[in-house]
Structure 1
Amino acid sequence: MLKVECVVFFAVMSCLEAAKLPSYIIPCSASDPNLNECGRKHAQDALPSVIKGDPKFKLPSLEPLKLPEIKITSGNLRVDLLNVIIKGFDNAQVKDMQIDLKNKHISLTVFIDKANLLSNYEISGNILILPIRGKGRSNITFAGGSYKYDFDYTLKDKHGDKYMIMKNNKLDFKTERSYFYFENLFGGDNQLGEQMNKFLNENWETVEQELGPAITQTMSTIITSSLNGIFDKVPFKDIILQPNPA
Structure 2
Amino acid sequence: MPPPPPTWDSATADESDTAASDREQPRQRVIEAAADLLAREGRDAVTTRAVAVAAGLQPPAIYRLFGDKAGLLDAVAEYGFASFLATKEARNPDAEPQDPIEGLRAGWDLAVEFGLANPALYTLMYSEPTRAASAAFKTGMKILMGRIRRLAADGWLRVDEDLAAMLIHATARGAVLTWLSLPEDRRDPALLTTMRESMVTAVTNDKPAVQSGGPAGAARALRAALPEQTTLSGAEQHLLKEWLGRLASDG
Report TM bin, short chain. Answer: under 0.3
Q: Based on CA coordinates, which of the two structures has the bigger radius of gyration?
A: 2
Q: Which protein has greater RCO, CA pairs closer than 8 Å, 6+ apart?
A: 1
User: Which structure shows the bigger proportion of residues in strand conformation?
Assistant: 1
Q: Given the two structures, how large is their TM-score scaled by the length of structure 2?
A: 0.26
Q: Given the two structures, how large is their TM-score scaled by the length of structure 1?
A: 0.26
User: Which structure shows the bigger proportion of residues in helix conformation?
Assistant: 2
